[in-house]
A = this chain, B = another copy of it.
Amino acid sequence: MISKKLSTWLPILTWGQQYNRNTLVSDLLAATIVTIMLIPQGLAYALLAGLPPEAGLYASVAPLLLYALFGTSRVLAVGPVAVVSLMTAAAISEQGALSSASPWAIAITLAFLSGALLLLMGLLKLGFLANFLSHPVISGFISASGLLIAASQLKTIMGVRADGQHFFDILSALALQMSQTHLLTLSIGVSTIIFLFWMRKGLKPLLLRAGLGLRLADSLAKAGPVAAIAVTLTLTWWLEWQTQGVKIVGAVPQGLPPLTLSLWDPTLLKQLALPALLISIVGFAESVSVGQTLAAKRRQRIEPNQELIALGASNISASLSGGFPVTGGFARSVVNFDAGAQTPAAGIYTAVGIALASLFLTPALYFLPQATLAATIIVAVLSLVDLTIFKRTWKYSKADFAAALSTFLVTLALGVELGLVTGVTVSLSLFLYRTSRPHIAEVGLVPGTEHFRNVLRHSVLVDPRLVSLRVDESLYFANSKALEDQINQAMATMPTLQHVVLLCSAINDIDASALESLELIESRLLSAGITLHLSEVKGPVMDRLKHTHFLHHLSGQVFLTHYQAIQALSPNLTSQTQSVT
């Protein structure tokens, strides 16, 4: 019997016990499909990150094994993904200018830092931090990243050299190089793009009409990149396109992932801290969202804080084996799920598949044109670009629109890190701004009832010697001044005022600053000869207030209901018939 505690930390102990022949067959089938998909993606994302192609294979072995040990999702496919590779590229190009370390050494250090941060967040149960990435911010960020990645691949498609880190820099650099376009490379790239789009959109209906099953049609349609690689590689080898200036992948070292160690340069570690944190949070948010969606389909659950530990271990293993930052990717996880993966063992088989590929397959990739990989990246990332978010948020909420648009524009114009930081800052600021202006309504008695309504919207009874204020929000430091203001205004504009009654039914919490404000309000009212009363204070709030100076020295009373307050303080109001608004 395995202790429950241990199997929380090592979910493999739970599912491993029920492993049988059926799950083995399902997992092996899924792993085969994912491996075929992962080989070109690994190579392509390594190039996107600015690393040698084999780094993509190395990042697809150890991390998968570690995730299989620690992960709680049954079907998450961990490895290099587009957005994280782009963020890695950005961090490398920033550091490249400042440090003498090689890009690969920086990537390994980044994977280590990011893994350590994820592990730490997991141990401290800080998974909730990813919740502060709002949906509009993520959408704006992912769309902008998709465009940035696509733009960065255009130079490979055109066969030119063009530097530039940000979207508009890249486009203007490309415009200057337009005349240098290498036409054969461009033809390979463009025809691959067209072919891949057709495989995505055109092939599946064709296969379905030809009588194939939906699942098979789907899987075949997703084999596009493999077909494109096979065809362009064969053509290049046969027609010797590399002698005509087509850039090829070239010699990829054969062998298992090497043992590599993170750099321990304090300056470098410090400068990589922010990129590593952002990569961790974005990677975690993407991974957890895919994992949760797929788990829910089978009524399973994933444990976000354990996922942090699993992803942390995966990234540390990536840094120890020549890889770069990885996470659970959307596309491959869905394929893994659809192909019938039952347990994380599918990840282990995929890792074995990639290890075999890096042992034996790499010589076969020698003649693969880089433009083919660039084309597969472009087609993959353009599906991430979804500009409808702007229209939807504009209609639904201007604050969400502002967060989405600022993230999108800053990411394009100034890069992934600033974009993300801007988005989080804007969305938190707008949230704080909203909560700092609570809705405070002056209410009056609805004639003939015991109900109170806003004096601005309803014909209600009020008493010029008494004002009733309903606060529609918990009181905390940022909004308690608004209550002070409203009461100051009532004091200044109602010369006959004798009583202020706060209707507290919607106040779930009062923090120390708000308590201070209430004391201040009370003493200001008192010095002007006005009494402060409360009504309908919630139980937990009352429990807290009971021990305070405020309640002991309150000039007025605390009423159970607001109607009781009005009965006591303005007995004539209930008998009044005429509206005084």
Q: Which residues of A contact B (CB under 8 A)?
A: 128, 130-137, 292-293, 295-297, 299-301, 304, 392-393, 395-397, 399-400, 427-428, 431-437, 472-473, 476-482, 484-485, 488-489, 491-492, 495, 508-509, 511-513, 515-517, 520, 524-525, 527-528, 544, 547-548
Contact = CB atoms under 8 A, between A and B. Distances in A.
Contact of A436 (B132, B304, B392): B132
A392 B512 contact: yes
Contacts of A427: 477
A520 B296 CA distance: 10
Contacts of A547: 395-396
A509 to B, nearest CB: 8
User: Which of A479, A508, A524, A544 is packed against the most chain B CB atoms within 10 Å?
Assistant: A524
A432 B132 contact: yes
User: What is the count of identical protomers in the complex?
Assistant: 2
Contacts of A301: 488-489, 491-492
Nearest to A493: B301
Nearest to A529: B299
B512 A397 contact: yes
Contacts of A508: 472-473
A516 B393 CA distance: 11
Which secondary structure dominates chain A's binding surface? Answer: helix
The 5 closest A-B pairs by CB, nearest first: A134-B477, A296-B524, A135-B513, A400-B512, A301-B492
A300 B531 CA distance: 17
B524 A297 contact: yes
Contacts of A433: 128
Contact of A484 (B292, B473, B520): B292
Given A396-B512, A515-B396, A436 B297 contact: no
Contact of A396 (B478, B479, B548): B548
A491 B134 contact: no
- Most chain B C-beta atoms within 10 Å of own C-beta, residue among A392, A485, A491: A485
Given A296-B524, A478-B132, A544 B396 contact: yes
24 contacts: A128-B478, A131-B436, A131-B478, A131-B479, A131-B480, A132-B432, A132-B477, A135-B477, A135-B517, A136-B512, A136-B513, A293-B520, A293-B524, A299-B528, A301-B489, A301-B491, A396-B512, A397-B511, A397-B512, A397-B544, A400-B511, A428-B428, A431-B477, A431-B511
A400 B513 contact: yes
Nearest to A285: B481
A495 B436 CA distance: 43
A491 B296 contact: yes
A487 to B, nearest CB: 9
Given A131-B436, A431-B511, 8 more contacts: A128-B437, A131-B478, A131-B479, A134-B512, A135-B517, A296-B524, A431-B477, A435-B435
B488 A296 contact: yes
Nearest to A491: B299
Contacts of A513: 134-136, 400
B431 A297 contact: no
A368 B234 CA distance: 95
A460 B527 CA distance: 49
A128 to B, nearest CB: 6
A395 B549 CA distance: 12
A295 B488 contact: yes
Nearest to A435: B435
A527 B134 contact: no
Contacts of A130: 481
Contacts of A399: 511
A409 B547 CA distance: 27
Contact of A432 (B428, B512, B515, B544): B428
Contacts of A428: 428, 432
Contacts of A477: 131-135, 137, 427, 431
Nearest to A295: B488
Given A135-B477, A478-B131, A527 B432 contact: no
Contact of A527 (B131, B297, B392): B297
A392 B544 CA distance: 12
A386 to B, nearest CB: 12
A440 to B, nearest CB: 13
A280 to B, nearest CB: 17
A425 to B, nearest CB: 11
A305 to B, nearest CB: 11
Contacts of A544: 396-397
A92 B392 CA distance: 50
A512 B134 CA distance: 8
Contacts of A299: 491-492, 495, 528
A75 to B, nearest CB: 14
Interface hub of A134, A293, A297, A479 (most chain B Cβ within 10 A): A134
Contacts of A300: 492
Contacts of A512: 134-136, 392-393, 396-397, 400
